[in-house]
Structure 1
Amino acid sequence: MDSTSILLGCKSVGNTAFAQRNYGKAIRTYTQGLTLLPSNIDLLSNRAAAYLNYGLYSLALHDAETVLSTDPTHEKCLYRKVKALWGLSRYHKAHQFTEKFKIPSLADKAAITLSQSLGHIKASTLMSLPHQARHEIADYRGPIEIVPIPGKGRGIVATENIPVGSLIICSKAFCIVFDQDVQDFKNFHLRDKSVELEHTDALGGLIYDKLQLDPSLKSELLKLYTGQQESQSSDDITLTIRNIIDYNGFTSKRDDSLISMGNPNFAGLWILPSYLNHSCLDNNANYAVYGDILVVRAVKNIPKGDEILISYWQATVPGRREVMKARNFECGCRACKMEDEEDPLIKAEIAQLLQQIRESLVSPSSDLPATTNRNFDRVQRIVKLRKKKYGDTNMALLTPEVEMVGAALSERHDTKGCIFILENMHKVCKNNGFVLSSVYQAMNLSSHWRQMNKVEEWIEWAEQFRKNVIAACGDFDDGLIALKIDPECSAIQAQTDR
C-alpha cells in the first residue's frame, strides 16, 4: 500500500472515530498518518479539532499554528487557534487575534470571553447553561492565592477584602464525565459492555489517557493532594490518579441538586478549586457546578487574609463526620462542635420529636388540624431546646419533617406559624452554604408579614431578601432573572414601593 492510500486510510478512520466521540483514537490515528507526512494540512487540522474536544489545548494550538504557518487563511485553523487560546486562558491574545484576522464568527464571542475573564460573568448566564455539556465560559480567578494552612496542608486565602456576592473563582474542568461519557468510555475501552462503571472510574480512565497524550499536564495535576506523604508517593500513575480523584474530585448524583443546580450525574476534577478547604456550616463561600464550569462566590464579606472555605458536605448530610474521619481531617465548625458538645438527652429528645412528626405524616389521622397542631408544638419544642446556645446551628429545622410541617401550616393559612418556622430556619441558612434556601425563606417571610399588614416587618424582610439574592448571585436584578423569581412577589414590591 502506498503512502497516499495510508494517509487516506488514516484520515478516514480518524474521522470516523471523531464522529463517534472517540477522540483518543482519532488523535492516535491522525498521528499515525502524520508520521508519514508531518506537514499534511488535513491531518493536522483534524487532529487539532480532536485535541480541542479532548481538552488538550496546548497540542491543539501547536497543530493549528503549524497549519497557519503554511496557509495563513485556513479558516478552520483560524477558528481552532482561537478556541485553543481560550482553553489556555489566553483571552486577551485570542481577542487580538480575532480582530487582526477579521474573524466575524468569533469576534463577539472573543470580546465576551475577554470580559468574562475579568470577572464579568452573570449568574443568569451560568444558570441557563445546559447541564450535561461543556461550555465556552472564561476562567476567572479573583484576588486569592494558594498558601500553606496550618493543620490543613494548603488552602486559598483572600489577598484583598472580598465583598459578599463577589465572584471568586470560575473554573473550567481539567476533566469531566457526564452520563454519555461513561457510556462512550465503556464502548471504546471495555470488552464487556455489561460492566457497571462509576463516573469516577471513567474520569480516571480519561485523565490517564490525556496524560499519555500530553505528559506536560502532569505537572499541575500531581501537585494536588493524594492522601499520601511525599515520601510515600506511588510510582503507579493509575493509583495516583485514583487518589487525586478521591480527595479532590467533585461528583454529583441526582439527589445532590442543591450543589449541582439540578445536574444529573457527573464526576469532574477542577485544579484551582481543589485547593479550597471545607467547613460544614461556617463556610464563607458557596460553590455550584454548571456543566463543566465550577463557580465559587462569597456568601459573606471576606476580609483580606481570611481563608476561603466551602462546604464539601453540608451540615445536614448524614455520615459526613465519618467521611471526614476517613479522609484524615476534622471540620471544627459550629455544627460539628454542637454535635460533639450537646447534651445527649437533648439530642435524643430532638430525634424522638422528628420521629413522631415523621410517623404522623406517614400515617395521618382523620383529624388533620389536630395533627398539624401537635407537629407544630413539636417544632416549637425543637427550637426551644436549642434556642439559647445553638439557635443558629439547629440543623433539625432543615429536615424534611419540619419543612412538611411548615407546608401544612401554609395550607391552612396559619401565617404566624409559618413565620415562626421560617424565621428560625433563616437563622441557620443565611450567609453560608444554604444561601439559596435563605432567599426563598426571606421572600416568603416578607409576603407573610405583608399579609398581616405589618409594614415595618414586611420591608425589613424584603431588605433581607435583597441581601440574600446578592449573596447568592452577586447582583440583585440579575439574581431575580437567574432564580426565576416572580417580579410581582411582595418582597420585590416592597423594594419598588420604597
Structure 2
Amino acid sequence: MAFLKTQQFEAALSDIESAPDGPNLVEKALDRKAQALYGLGKYRESSYVLKEMSQNFAGNTSVHQRLARTTERVKEQERGLYDFARMQREASSQRPPHLDFATYIGPVEIGPSGSKGRGLFTTRAVKAGDLLLCEKAFAHAFVDTKGVHKQDLTVLIDAERDMITVGGQAELIRLVAQKLYHNPSMAAAITGLHRGSYQPVDVTEVDGIPIVDTFLISRIISLNCFGCPLTTLDLKTRGGNQGVIDEKIHHSCGLWPMASYINHSCDRNVTRAFIGDFMIVRATRDIDGGTELKWWYYEPGQDDKKGPSNHWGFRCDCAICTDDQATPPQILAERKRLGKVLKAQGISVRAGKIESMLAKMKLTYHKPASEVPRLDMYNFQVRLAIRYLEANQPTKAVERGLEALGSLGFIIEGATMPKCGTSYGTILIKQWGVDCDIFKCWRVLSNAYSMLGAFGLASQAESFGKISYKACIGEDASFDRY
C-alpha cells in the first residue's frame, strides 16, 4: 500500500508476487494487484484480476464499481471510445486537471523520416476528424495562470549551460525524474525521444538502484514538451485576445511521448487539442495509409527567432516555406506590409478597401493556392465574409468564404449557388487544405446559405464545420453551444 500511495507501481507488484498465499491475504493481495496494474495503465490485466475478485469474494461490494470503471478504461484504450463531455467537465473542476482516462493509440506507428530522424505515420487511410491519438501525459506540470490556487514557483538554474528555467517546465523535470526512478521499466519510452547532441550515461542501475540521468531528461523535455492550456475549448472561448497565450506567464506543460514523434510542417495534416493532461490528435484532412503526420511546432508567419532552426535544429521544407525562399525579398516585404495594414484595420473600415488590399496581396503570390496555401490571407478573407454576412449580403459572404478556404489549398465543388430551379447538389471537397480553425468559416457559409434559402448546402457546410471543430477542440460534444 505504501508503494501504491507513492505511485511506485512496479515495486507494489513485486511485493504482491512475493507475498505468502495464506487465506487471509489472498483478497487483499488481489486488490493491491488490481490497483498496481491500473496505475501502470494495464487496464485489461487489471480487469481480469477484478473479475476474479468479483467471482470469489462476493461480499466485496466495491469490486463491481471498480470493474465498471476499469472496463471503461479498456474501451478507451483499445477502441478510442471516450465521454469527451465528461472529460471537459472534470478538467474544468479538478486542480490539478489530472484525469482518470486511458491513453488510446490509434492507426499510427513510429517510422523513419529521413533527415528528421523518426516520425509518426498512419497505418491505414483515415478521414478528416478521425481520432489518431488521445494520450495521457507521461508527466504534467500544472500552473494556475488565473491565480486562484496558490502554488510555489519552481526555478532551475543550469550553470553549465548558463540557462534558467522557470515554472512548469522546471517542475516537469522533477516529475519525470521521480516517475522514472519509481518505475524504471517506463524509461525506454522517454529516453528514446529526441535529445539533440547530448550523450547520456550508459549505466541504467547500480546495486539494483535505477540511475536517472537528469541532464538527459532536461534536454529531452526542452525539445519534446508541449505548453498547454487547461483545455483548448477554454483557450478558444475566453474573452479578449482569444486563443493567444500570454508569454509572460509560466504556463502548464507536459510530456506526451507518442505525440513527440510528430514532425513539423506549415502544411499540417493533423492538429492537437488539450483537455486537462490529455492531448487529442485528429486528422484535419483525408490521409492515405503510410503518410507521415505533420503539425505546427510554431505558427507560420512568426519571426525567425521563434522558428525551428534556432531550437530544434532544422528548417521547414514544406511547399509554403520553399515558395517563400524562391520569392524575391521585396515581394515578401510587400506581402508582410499589406498584412500588417490589414491587421491594423478596425471594424469601421470599408469592405471595398479590404477587397482592394486583398487583391494587391494576392499579386504577391505566383503559384496557385492549391499548390502553395496562402495562410497570410485566410483570416482577412474570413473577416470580410463576416462583414458581408452582417451587412445582409449573403451571396458575397458565400463568395468570400469559399475564397478563404481556397486560399488554404481547398478545392471544393458544388458549393457555389446554383441557378434558380435547379437542385442544390452536394458539396464535394476534391482536395483538403490546411485547417486554420476553419469551422468559423464553415459556420459563416452555413448561415449565408440559410439566408439564401439553400438549406441543403447550409446543412452540409455545418457538417464540415463540425469536422473542423472536432479537430480544433478535440471533441464535438460542445459544438452546438460554441
Taking structure 1 as the reference length, the TM-score comes to 0.71
Deviation string 1:129-151 (CA, Å, 9 cap, x unpaired) is 41551112112222332222211
Runs (5+) with no aligned partner, structure 1: 1-44, 487-498
CA distance in 1, matches of 2:231, 2:152: 24
Superposed displacement of residue 413, structure 1: 3.1
Are the counterparts in 2 of residues 397 and 424 from structure 1 also a CA contact under 8 Å?
A: no
Are the counterparts in 1 of residues 442 and 464 from structure 2 also a CA contact under 8 Å?
A: no
Superposed, 1:106-117 pairs within 5 Å as 106-117=66-77
**1:379 and 2:358 correspond:** yes
CA distance in 1, matches of 2:121, 2:293: 5
Partner of 1:252: 228
Superposed, 1:303-318 pairs within 5 Å as 303-318=288-303
Deviation string 1:288-309 (CA, Å, 9 cap, x unpaired) is 2221112222223332222222
CA shift in 2, pair 1:165/1:285, >3 Å: same
CA shift in 2, pair 1:245/1:354, >3 Å: same
Query: Which residue, out of 388, 413, 422, partners 2:401?
Result: 422
Partner of 1:396: 376
CA shift in 2, pair 1:142/1:468, >3 Å: same
**1:130 and 2:106 correspond:** no
Partner of 2:264: 278
CA distance in 2, matches of 1:280, 1:147: 21
CA distance in 1, matches of 2:50, 2:237: 34
Partner of 1:443: 443
Are the counterparts in 1 of residues 156 and 165 from structure 2 also a CA contact under 8 Å?
A: no
Superposed displacement of residue 111, structure 1: 1.6
Amino acid at match of 2:66: L
Superposed displacement of residue 127, structure 1: 4.4
Partner of 1:452: 452
Partner of 1:11: none
Superposed displacement of residue 321, structure 1: 6.7
SS of the residue 1:481 aligns to = coil
Are the counterparts in 1 of residues 91 and 230 from structure 2 also a CA contact under 8 Å?
A: no
CA shift in 2, pair 1:111/1:222, >3 Å: same
CA distance in 1, matches of 2:297, 2:275: 16
Deviation string 1:212-233 (CA, Å, 9 cap, x unpaired) is 434443333211110017xx44
Partner of 1:39: none
CA distance in 2, matches of 1:308, 1:125: 28
SS of the residue 2:350 aligns to = helix
Superposed displacement of residue 318, structure 1: 4.2
Bigger proportion of residues as helix: 1
**1:462 and 2:459 correspond:** yes
Superposed displacement of residue 466, structure 1: 1.9
Are the counterparts in 2 of residues 285 and 432 from structure 1 also a CA contact under 8 Å?
A: no
CA shift in 2, pair 1:300/1:259, >3 Å: farther
Runs (5+) with no aligned partner, structure 2: 55-62, 158-163, 203-211, 246-250, 411-431
Query: Which residue, out of 9, 22, 27, partners 1:73?
Result: 27
Instruction: Tell me the number of residue pairs that the alignment of Structure 1 and Structure 2 aligns.
Output: 415
Amino acid at match of 1:250: F
Are the counterparts in 2 of residues 289 and 295 from structure 1 also a CA contact under 8 Å?
A: yes
CA distance in 2, matches of 1:178, 1:261: 20
Superposed displacement of residue 260, structure 1: 8.8
Partner of 1:176: 140
Superposed displacement of residue 177, structure 1: 0.3
Which piece of structure 1 moves more, 249-258 or 174-183? 249-258
CA shift in 2, pair 1:459/1:315, >3 Å: farther
CA distance in 1, matches of 2:103, 2:156: 31
Amino acid at match of 1:86: Y
Are the counterparts in 1 of residues 155 and 166 from structure 2 also a CA contact under 8 Å?
A: no
Partner of 1:86: 38
CA shift in 2, pair 1:170/1:432, >3 Å: farther
Deviation string 1:26-83 (CA, Å, 9 cap, x unpaired) is xxxxxxxxxxxxxxxxxxx1431221xxxx4323444567779663334xx7665434
Amino acid at match of 2:375: M
Superposed displacement of residue 269, structure 1: 0.8
Partner of 1:162: 126
CA shift in 2, pair 1:261/1:67, >3 Å: farther
Amino acid at match of 2:5: A
Partner of 1:355: 340
SS of the residue 2:80 aligns to = coil
CA distance in 2, matches of 1:330, 1:296: 23
Are the counterparts in 2 of residues 300 and 471 from structure 1 also a CA contact under 8 Å?
A: no
Partner of 2:427: none
CA shift in 2, pair 1:433/1:116, >3 Å: farther
Which piece of structure 1 moves more, 292-301 or 385-394? 385-394
CA distance in 1, matches of 2:76, 2:308: 36
Are the counterparts in 2 of residues 48 and 64 from structure 1 also a CA contact under 8 Å?
A: no
Query: Which residue, out of 461, 476, 481, partners 2:477?
Result: 481
CA shift in 2, pair 1:163/1:482, >3 Å: same
SS of the residue 1:201 aligns to = helix
CA shift in 2, pair 1:46/1:432, >3 Å: farther
Taking structure 2 as the reference length, the TM-score comes to 0.73
Amino acid at match of 2:188: S
